[in-house]
Structure 1
Amino acid sequence: MTHDLLTPSRHNLAEDIFAIFIGTTLVALGIAFYAEAQLATGSTAGLALLLQYATGIPFGWLFFAINLPFYALAFMRMGVPFGLKTMFSVALVSLFSAQIPVWIDIQTINPLYAALVGGGLIGLGVLSLFRHKASVGGINILSLYLQENFNIRAGYFQLAVDAAILVAAFFVLPLDRVFYSVLGALVMNMIVALNHRPGRYVGFS
């Protein structure tokens, strides 16, 4: 029985679709917490948030546009299934992030709570997508490529990139919001780093 539990099994299409919907919902909800508290995060989502704060352009449009150049890497280096699932995931996050303010009226949220819980939601969402060979684009694509081809931990690589994006946040956000953003980024990336590594999960898509 132990052998059966440890034997890798392939996810079927229904499992992949379910995981993508759950993952993108969690990511979008975490982004909604961040946007309400005026926080930043890493990867292309963080860049889209900073641009939203600076320009007023909705997050969903910015997030979708920023990810466009990364699709070539997704298709060429990670395969057609990964590329298609990633495009679908990015589109869903863009859609859900635009609709969540309609579905939920968040009038006030503690920035520390938004950072920790929002970071946790994003981290769990990203982890769900990673385990089903999908991502929310951008740096996620590059980090998965580096982990699968050069054994560089996806979570740690993203942490380094996120740190650079959070440095840029100093020029857009108040100091306390940058501090909370750093805490959220740590939570998000530690979830990925501790859980998305060889041998930790045996299912595959």
Structure 2
Amino acid sequence: MDGDKRRYGFWNPTPTRHTPLEDAQGLFASSMIAALGLALMSSAGLVASGTAGVAFILHYLTGVSFGLYYTVVNIPFYILALKRLGWAFTIKTVIAVSLTSLITEFQPHFVRIESIDPMWTAVLAGILLGFGLLGLYRHRASLGGVGVLAVYLQERFGIRAGLVQLAFDLFVLAAAFFVAAPFIVLCSVVGAVVLNLFLTINHRADRYIAM
């Protein structure tokens, strides 16, 4: 019985590496969840956190594809990821960002939302994005941008990733007043708080030791 538990990872006191297949399904599933959260926010006119929030603001201002902006805004952070976190993390992050961007662009063709409450959407989308980011973090990847910086600071200095993202989000959401009504910005703040509290509580190295 104990042998089976160790084999399948239950109560395993030593780190267990993910296989390439486990990483692939983890990246895809987490990107799908994150993309659903972003699609909900877009439907409600909300502004997301992190670099996604920057991409949303540029999208609302210009009408140019969110996915395109999201990909471009993340490019500088890939350099940081490569220098500080290595090739494996960087490649998986590029894949995750690309997948999330593509799914977000194509998702409206498959999921159409006719009526949506901004405040409820903010809470739900914050949780979905939290689950998506948590899944990516646990497979040594992120959604780029501040997520890369957050993972690096947590691993290097022990600063909680959720707190790093929350600080950056405050600047992004302040800029949101230029493209959205105050109530929508308030809802966006709620979504950011939900997301970052979720990560702060759940993203802890001592609770997940797979690599």
> Scaled by the length of structure 2, what TM-score is found?
0.93
The one-letter amino acid of 1:58's match is: S
2:78 is equivalent to residue 71 of structure 1: yes
Q: Any unmatched runs of 5+ in structure 2?
A: none
Q: Secondary structure at the match of 1:79?
A: helix
Match of residue 41, structure 1, among 40, 48, 53 = 48
The answer to whether the aligner puts 1:28 opposite 2:35 as a matched pair is yes
Aligned to 1:54: 61
1:154 counterpart residue number? 161
Q: Separation in 1 of the partners of 2:209 and 2:61? A: 42
The alignment covers a number of residue pairs equal to 204
Matched, 1:94 2:101: yes
1:186 to 173, 176, 193: 193
Runs of 4+ in 1 over 3 A off after TM superposition: 1-4
User: How much is the aligned-residue C-alpha RMSD, in angstroms?
Assistant: 1.3
| 2:135 aligned partner, one-letter code | S
Aligned equivalent of 2:18, options 8, 11, 29: 11
Give the aligned partner of residue 104 of structure 1: 111
CA positional deviation for 1:134: 0.4
CA distance in 2, matches of 1:72, 1:131: 21
Question: Tell me, what secondary structure is at the counterpart of 2:54?
Answer: helix
Structure 1 position 6, deviation (Å): 3.3
* Residue 198 of structure 1: how far off its partner (Å): 2.4
Q: Secondary structure at the match of 1:23?
A: helix
Point out the structure with max Rg over C-alpha.
Answer: 2
Structural mapping, 1:130-149, within 5 Å: 130-149=137-156
Unaligned regions of 5+ residues in structure 1, if any? none
